[in-house]
């Protein structure tokens, strides 16, 4: 049976359901599957023509024991989570038509970002486990703009779960904000937080503090659905398999993914797919904040002051999933991970030695894309092909162009388009020639509808946040699912 271990090695392994419900491990580490399932070539052959839903069932069956979620229930939960998608199979497009540069569109879910892909499934799973336990949960999550809407949509109407998406005022797009504030469900309470100098990272500090108080965590029934939750990361392995089977000529051929990296959840999904046996490599594309880039380029993990960028959803200076990535790259050496975490917590920086640095960068090239390059990428692709990227997809495509020389000449590359351009009309306007009206592909009917809907949001300052949450969550638990 696959068990879920802490990256810090200080708490006992737990089965999948507990890992999902707890979020963080007891010692503050992140859960990782052990052992990572290994796929045979025959298995990959069998999987290669499956559609996305069938592939998701196969991949997730490798991680979820049938005693915990029987196969029939797993299929039902997957189907329910993917039902609101415009299309479950993520489109792979090649605007230049050269068959080597691909874009994988992961934004056809209900809130138009790749977060929908895993969030819906995670919430279905949580609800399933809670029903069995006859229990309930309060989800607090800090968002840089896309996790919040995805969670709000997935949780809306669930009787056993309440959700508190926290977002930094003025640091997400108006469209992302509307996706949360117009959800119109009693069990979803978005909170706009003022004075966050470090954006979403500031909010993560409050969340971590609440989670660090065991008594409070128990009383408020706290859990999280940020990508610290292993359920999200596992589900994010599926699209790597899907894209691989659709773009390589022969099984065993190499493939590169260019990923717009924030907290590293998506990259960790790719890393797990690689560990399972896919011959894939990565371009880690970040914006001007660049913490993630410096890990691979210089072997340093260092917190630097946040700079607001045009690709705001990846304005992250502490990519917290990095500890998972480190765990995988050092072959599960929890003492090493623990030492690095402790050092980072004390000094805000960790310098890796040459051996570890070379393990971290094996099959990974990284880059930091400026706002000007992001705008250029949107403008050039649109001008040349009529295809419209959002700023995060543009970071991935610009990263792919810049880093491709680091890979074998004919290796195809899939840039991961993580959000729909309709979520960022102001950036798109800036990128396209002045005076040009926005193309049809810059709009989405769901956003237009949200602009007309009523909004509901709590507003507080950063200093008030912790107390406000405790008070409101205490009160909300009294109203959740009668009889619990
Ligand atoms: C549109 C978009 N792209 C990329 C990312 C980065 O993903 P991750 O945090 O998994 O690295 C995010 C989320 O933070 C996002 O919302």
Tens-digit pLDDT profile for residues 39-71: 999 999 999 999 999 999 999 999 999 999 999
- Check if the beta carbon of residue 321 is closer than 8 Å to that of residue 268: yes
Phi, psi values for residue 92, rounded to 5°: -115, 115
The answer to whether the CB of 424 is under 6 A from ligand 1 is: no
pLDDT above 60 for 474: yes
Between strands 137-142 and 458-461, the pairing is: unpaired
Determine the average pLDDT of the residues in 234-238: 98
pLDDT above 60 for 34: yes
Determine the average pLDDT of the residues in 295-314: 94
Question: What's the gap in Å between 414 CA and the centre of ligand 1?
Answer: 16
Higher pLDDT, 394 or 207: 394
Determine the average pLDDT of the residues in 411-430: 97
The answer to whether the CB of 419 is under 6 A from ligand 1 is: yes
Residues 6+ apart with CB under 8 A from 212: 28
How does the average pLDDT of the chain come out, rounded? 95
Question: What's the gap in Å between 355 CA and the centre of ligand 1?
Answer: 29
Q: Which of 260, 273, 284 to mutate to test the pocket of ligand 1 (most atoms within 8 A of CB)?
A: 260
Q: What is the pLDDT of residue 24?
A: 87
Q: Which domains does the chain have, with CATH numbers?
A: 92-112+236-446 (3.40.50.1100), 119-231+454-484 (3.40.50.1100)
pLDDT above 90 for 139: yes
The answer to whether the CB of 265 is under 6 A from ligand 1 is: yes
Nearest CA to ligand 1 atom 6: 262
pLDDT above 60 for 484: no
Q: What is the pLDDT of residue 197?
A: 86
CA 134/CA 89 separation, integer angstroms: 34
pLDDT above 80 for 434: yes
Q: What is the pLDDT of residue 359?
A: 98
Q: How far is residue 483 CA from its own chain's centroid?
A: 34
Q: Which of 115, 288, 423, 472 is catalytic?
A: 115
Read off the pTM: 0.96
The answer to whether the CB of 312 is under 6 A from ligand 1 is: no
Nearest CA to ligand 1 atom 3: 418
Q: What is the pLDDT of residue 199?
A: 84
Q: What is the pLDDT of residue 304?
A: 87
What is the tally of helices (H) and strands (E) in the chain? 21, 15
Active site residue 478: no
Burial of 475 (C-beta count, 10 Å sphere; 0-12/13-18/19+): exposed
Across 367-376, b (16+ Cβ under 10 Å) vs e yields bbbebebbbe
CA 179/CA 17 separation, integer angstroms: 29
- Check if the beta carbon of residue 415 is closer than 8 Å to that of residue 102: yes
Q: Which of 107, 146, 200, 282 to mutate to test the pocket of ligand 1 (most atoms within 8 A of CB)?
A: 146
The answer to whether the CB of 418 is under 6 A from ligand 1 is: yes
- Quote the percentage of the chain above a pLDDT of 90: 88
CA 334/CA 330 separation, integer angstroms: 9
Q: What is the pLDDT of residue 480?
A: 62
Nearest CA to ligand 1 atom 12: 313
- 481 pLDDT band (50/70/90 cuts)? low
Q: What is the pLDDT of residue 483?
A: 40
Q: What is the pLDDT of residue 406?
A: 85
| CA-based nearest residue to 146, from 311, 359, 374, 345 | 311
The answer to whether the CB of 113 is under 6 A from ligand 1 is: yes
The answer to whether the CB of 266 is under 6 A from ligand 1 is: yes
User: Mind listing the pLDDT tens digit for each residue in 261-294?
Assistant: 999 999 999 999 999 999 999 999 999 999 999 9
Question: What's the gap in Å between 147 CA and the centre of ligand 1?
Answer: 8
User: Mind listing the pLDDT tens digit for each residue in 358-393?
Assistant: 999 999 999 999 999 999 999 999 999 999 999 999
């Amino acid at each position: 049976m696959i068990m879920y271990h802490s990256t810090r090695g200080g708490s006992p392994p737990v089965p999948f359901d507990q890992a999902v419900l707890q979020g963080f491990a007891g010692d503050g580490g992140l859960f990782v599957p052990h052992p990572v399932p290994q796929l045979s070539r025959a298995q990959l052959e069998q999987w290669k023509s499956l559609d996305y839903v069938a592939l998701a069932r196969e991949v997730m069956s490798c991680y979820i024991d049938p005693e915990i979620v029987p196969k029939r229930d797993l299929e039902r939960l997957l189907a329910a989570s993917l039902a609101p998608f415009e299309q479950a199979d993520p489109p792979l497009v090649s605007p230049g038509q050269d068959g080597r540069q691909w874009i994988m569109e992961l934004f056809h879910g209900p809130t138009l970002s790749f977060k929908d892909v895993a969030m819906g499934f995670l919430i279905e799973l949580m609800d399933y486990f809670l029903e069995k336990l006859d229990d309930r949960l309060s989800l607090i999550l800090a968002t840089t703009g896309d996790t919040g809407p995805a969670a709000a949509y997935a949780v809306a109407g669930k009787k056993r779960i309440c959700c508190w998406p926290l977002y930094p005022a003025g640091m997400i797009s108006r469209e992302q904000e509307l996706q949360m504030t117009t959800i119109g469900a009693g069990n979803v309470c978005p909170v706009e937080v003022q004075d966050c100098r470090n954006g979403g990272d500031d909010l993560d500090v409050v969340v971590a503090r609440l989670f660090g108080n065991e008594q409070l965590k128990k009383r408020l029934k706290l859990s999280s659905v940020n990508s610290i939750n292993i359920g999200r990361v596992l589900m994010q392995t599926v699209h790597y398999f899907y894209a691989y089977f659709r773009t390589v000529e022969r099984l065993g051929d190499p493939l590169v993914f260019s990923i717009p990296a924030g907290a590293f959840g998506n990259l960790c999904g790719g890393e797990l797919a690689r560990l399972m046996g896919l011959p894939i490599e990565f371009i880690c594309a970040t914006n001007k904040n660049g913490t993630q880039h410096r890990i691979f380029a210089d072997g340093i993990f260092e917190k630097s002051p946040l700079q607001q960028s045009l690709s705001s959803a990846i304005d992250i200076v502490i990519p917290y999933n990095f500890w998972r990535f480190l765990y995988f790259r050092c072959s599960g050496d929890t003492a090493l991970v623990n030492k690095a975490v402790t050092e980072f917590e004390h000094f805000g920086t960790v310098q890796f030695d040459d051996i570890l640095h070379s393990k971290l960068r094996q099959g990974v090239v990284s880059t930091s894309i400026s706002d000007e390059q992001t705008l250029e990428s949107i403008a050039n692709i649109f001008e040349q092909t009529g295809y419209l990227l959002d700023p995060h997809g543009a970071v991935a495509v610009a990263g792919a162009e810049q880093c491709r020389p680091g890979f074998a000449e004919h290796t195809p590359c899939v840039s991961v388009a993580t959000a729909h351009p309709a979520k960022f009309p102001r950036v798109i306007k800036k990128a396209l020639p002045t005076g040009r009206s926005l193309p049809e592909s810059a709009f989405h009917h769901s956003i237009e509808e949200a602009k007309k809907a009523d909004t509901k949001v709590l507003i507080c300052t950063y200093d008030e946040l912790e107390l406000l949450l405790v008070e409101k969550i205490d009160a909300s638990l009294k109203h959740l699912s009668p009889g619990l």
